[in-house]
Structure 1
């Protein structure tokens, strides 16, 4: 299946879930499941929003799928880059510890 087909199938499943939760509501009104049902309805709405965002990001071709790779050479670094730095924990090269 293509990405579009998979996203459509996910959207269909989330819509089915929302309908099923809607059918549960009249059956659970007045029962101790009130807060739980609200949580499930909120989670279903959140899933619906998440799938919409996913479809939106998959549809925008201008975003790269991965960042550009930077090649790091295996050659040693130029030691002159660190002439003015201290060795960590050892102090400066021209000074001695007390």
Structure 2
């Protein structure tokens, strides 16, 4: 399945969710804290999926993050010769 197919499937499920929440509101009323919370959560989910759809459809947006390999070898200590070890404690012993 493509990303667009998956997003379409999610949108259909959201539409079903909104219909079900609407039926619950008719039966239980929309003034209760629990019902308001369910409605707000459904609204946030719809907004999040809309943002995801927009990001997926915009050109130039990478589909997967680029992985960066970090070597296991120790860093060259000469890179830090001219730096201070502020906050790390003295490595030359006291008085130096």
The question of a shared fold, defined as TM-score above 0.5 by the shorter chain, is answered with: yes
Alignment partner of 1:50 is 2:48? yes
Please, which runs of 5 or more residues in structure 1 have no aligned partner?
A: none
Counterpart for residue 14 of structure 2: 14
Please, which runs of 5 or more residues in structure 2 have no aligned partner?
A: none
Counterpart for residue 68 of structure 2: 69
1:61 Cα deviation from its structure 2 partner: 3.2
1:2 Cα deviation from its structure 2 partner: 1.5
Runs of 4+ in 1 over 3 A off after TM superposition: 67-76, 81-88
The alignment covers a number of residue pairs equal to 92
Query: What is the alpha-carbon root mean square deviation over aligned residues?
Result: 2.9
Distance, in Å, in 2 between the alignment partners of 1:61 and 1:49 is: 20
1:28 Cα deviation from its structure 2 partner: 0.9
Larger Rg: 1
Counterpart for residue 28 of structure 1: 28
Change (3 A) 1:40 1:77: same
1:89 Cα deviation from its structure 2 partner: 2.4
Counterpart for residue 5 of structure 2: 5
